[in-house]
Copies of this chain bind each other. A is one copy, B any other.
Amino acid sequence: MSKVQEFKIQSIGIIRTPFKSSTDVPIQSIKSGIQGYIELSEEFRDGLKSLSGFSHIILLYWFHRAKAPKLQAKPYLDSDLHGIFAIRAPSRPNPIGISIVKLVSIEGTRLHIAGVDMLDKTPLLDIKPFVPEYDNRPLATSGWLEKSLLSGEHSFKADDRFENNQNQ
């Protein structure tokens, strides 16, 4: 019914983290507390005005080492096959990732952040302020994940099932 529309986007900076491959990455950034930083491209410096007042920011980024998209996959936290829109795996029709990280400090165009869960050198697409009044959903429930998260029978570590190592 709706015709396909194409759009172009570009990196506005790069995210530096300690994770050189997906096997290093914790699945839940919220628990890791691991630090990294953003190198924002100089031309976007003025866009940072008054960001420092926010405790958390939302990062949109490009899954630069994702395998080709598939419509169903087994996520890290379950042994069943789920639709790509029911999981957070990177091999998506548009491989855009989203993570909420803690904003530690800003030095010029370098943003120190904590709770990172993306690979080193991930291309950054956008920074948005995390606004608790818009973004928290305290009563939300999480379908297939609920059982898995409660059981504790998983490692909270990723692996290379979605990673294209040839792009390194």
Contact = CB atoms under 8 A, between A and B. Distances in A.
A86 interface: yes
State the main secondary structure of chain A at its contact with B: mixed
A82 B131 CA distance: 15
Interface string A118-145: 0000010111111111111111111111
A56 interface: yes
A7 B9 contact: yes
A141 B55 contact: yes
A47 interface: yes
Copies in the complex: 2
Interface string A4-34: 1111111111100000000000001110000
B2 A83 contact: no
A165 interface: no
Contact of A2 (B39, B71, B84, B139): B39
A11 B1 contact: no
B9 A47 contact: no
A139 B85 CA distance: 28
